[in-house]
Amino acid sequence: MKNKTFGSALLVAGTTIGAGMLAMPLTSAEMGFSYTLALLFALWILLSYSALLFVEVYQKAERKDAGIATLAEQYFGITGRVLATLSLVIFMYAILSAYVTGGGSLLAGLMPFLGDNATSVSIVLFTLVLGVFIVISTGAVDALTRLLFLIKLAAFLLVLGMMLPLVTTDNLLAMPLKDFLIISASPVFFTSFGFHVIIPSINKYLDGDIRRLRIAIIGGTAIPLVAYILWQMATHGVFPQSEFVQIVNNDPTLNGLINATFQATGSSLISGAVRTFSTLALVTSFLGVALSLFDCLDDLLKRVSIKANRIQLGLLTFIPPLAFALFYPDGFIAALGYAGQMFTFYGLVLPVGMAWQARKRYPDMPYRVLGGNISLFIALLLGLLIMNVPFLIQAGYLPKVIG
């Protein structure tokens, strides 16, 4: 039992930690470490809470292996299923677009000899090479991911080991350059705590055991929280804020983050380690999301009796994000922001609504998340706020983040 709980916690942590953390230093460059720390803790609490709401709702699921769209249909009918499915598919397309854009940026930094075409060629190569593994088989993706994850972990530890000794207190104490940046950055940060798509799997794996599910979720999300704090401490603490902001404003991409690392430290070894970690984080996240979207599209087509082979599914999976990346090569942060909007509905608004309905239908449920209906209302308001942050930025009510 303990091994299953520990394994589930690691599954939560592995799903959570991905390429979203690469955008954190760019998005929070003008915000300062203290406000960044506050945002990380707030979103960790909020998304752990929403995950526990799923656990609460699963107590009355029609079957243990029910997916989240099935749960949505149970409480809101076919409309709930359609909204849950659409939000998930759009979320995966948006975040895949961000990964393709970021991957192209990193590869372009390695191929300056291509001149003005470097970014476009790199975007196509990144998508084509990795897309082949998705089309071949899940086994091919699994084998590649296992290898790259170990290298990614080693690269991350190397980055922290080299950068943390260079951290200064003055850099960490830098204050925000604009008001309300902590709100503007929330959609991008929100995606970095996204693991809710695997809750059905661990619920089934742990036989619906509420206690072990809670331990797996809280423990599993604590691991990424610590990793994010150390990552933000390394970047905010090494870079003088004014210089960092100037550099990434000139190049608001992951390649700009690597150039800033080199200029701040003067070490090609450190900037090379950051590039290696960033590339592997993007690749492993890309593979996981692309495989999920590939399988999701396959399932959707089967439901409407449309047969598609793996090549056709591959084209449906990769053409939209590839098109976005080619037309908006600097849209890494923007794509993550759109992904945050969709995930806010799927990972926060939806579980709040289902928990509200479940509590009315089944007032005798043995487990309820702490806070009562007041907490549900507060979580709903926060979710609606985060979903509307991009619109508030466009309207000029909130400041823009870098990127």
Each residue's pLDDT tens digit, 218-243: 988 998 899 899 999 988 888 888 87
* Cα–chain center distance at 341: 12
pLDDT at position 1, please? 44
Please provide the average confidence, as pLDDT, over all residues in the chain: 84
As a whole number, mean pLDDT of residues 294-310 equals 79
166 close to 24: Cβ distance less than 8 angstroms? no
Query: Locate tokens 């056709």: which residue?
Result: 312
Intra-chain end-to-end CA distance of the chain, in Å:
45
Residue 132, CB-side half-sphere exposure with 13 Å CA sphere: 6
d(CA 376, CA 372): 7
Q: Check whether 329 has a pLDDT greater than 70.
A: yes
* pTM > 0.75: yes
* Greatest mean pLDDT among 35-49, 146-160, 196-210, 251-265: 35-49
Query: Locate tokens 């700009």: which residue?
Result: 256
Describe the crossing of helices 118-136 and 68-108 by its angle, rounded to 10 degrees: 140
pLDDT band at 43 (very low <50, low <70, confident <90, very high): very high
Q: Check whether 18 has a pLDDT greater than 90.
A: no
CB atoms within 10 A of CB 116: 6
By percentage, how much of the chain surpasses pLDDT 70? 95
Instruction: Give me the phi and psi of 95, to 5 degrees please.
Output: -75, -30
How far, CA to CA in Å, does 224 sit from each of 12, 28, 143? 9, 17, 23
pLDDT at position 361, please? 92
Query: Locate tokens 């749960």: which residue?
Result: 71
As a whole number, mean pLDDT of residues 22-43 equals 88
pLDDT band at 403 (very low <50, low <70, confident <90, very high): low
pLDDT band at 65 (very low <50, low <70, confident <90, very high): low
pLDDT at position 293, please? 82
161 compared with 14, residue with greater pLDDT:
161
d(CA 92, CA 318): 11
pLDDT band at 87 (very low <50, low <70, confident <90, very high): confident
| 112-171 pLDDT, tens digit each | 667 777 778 888 888 898 888 888 876 777 777 778 878 888 888 888 888 888 888 988
125 compared with 15, residue with greater pLDDT:
125
Describe the crossing of helices 210-238 and 2-16 by its angle, rounded to 10 degrees: 40
Q: Check whether 253 has a pLDDT greater than 80.
A: no
Least reliable range by pLDDT among 71-75, 248-252, 345-349, 366-370 = 248-252
How far, CA to CA in Å, does 398 sit from each of 172, 178, 246, 325, 339? 24, 9, 20, 26, 19
Q: Identify the CA nearest to 216 among candidates 346, 367, 375, 55.
A: 55
Q: Check whether 292 has a pLDDT greater than 80.
A: no
pLDDT band at 334 (very low <50, low <70, confident <90, very high): confident
What are the start-end ranges of the H helices in 345-394? 350-361, 372-394
Describe the crossing of helices 268-303 and 68-108 by its angle, rounded to 10 degrees: 140
CB atoms within 10 A of CB 352: 23
Q: Identify the CA nearest to 29 among candidates 272, 277, 265, 246.
A: 246
pLDDT band at 353 (very low <50, low <70, confident <90, very high): very high
DSSP 397: S
State the Cα angle at 77 between 75 and 83, rounded to 5°.
Answer: 95
By percentage, how much of the chain surpasses pLDDT 90? 16
* Interior/surface letters 206-243, b for 16+ CB within 10 angstroms, e for the rest: beebbebbbbbbebbbebbbebbbbbbbbbbbbbebee
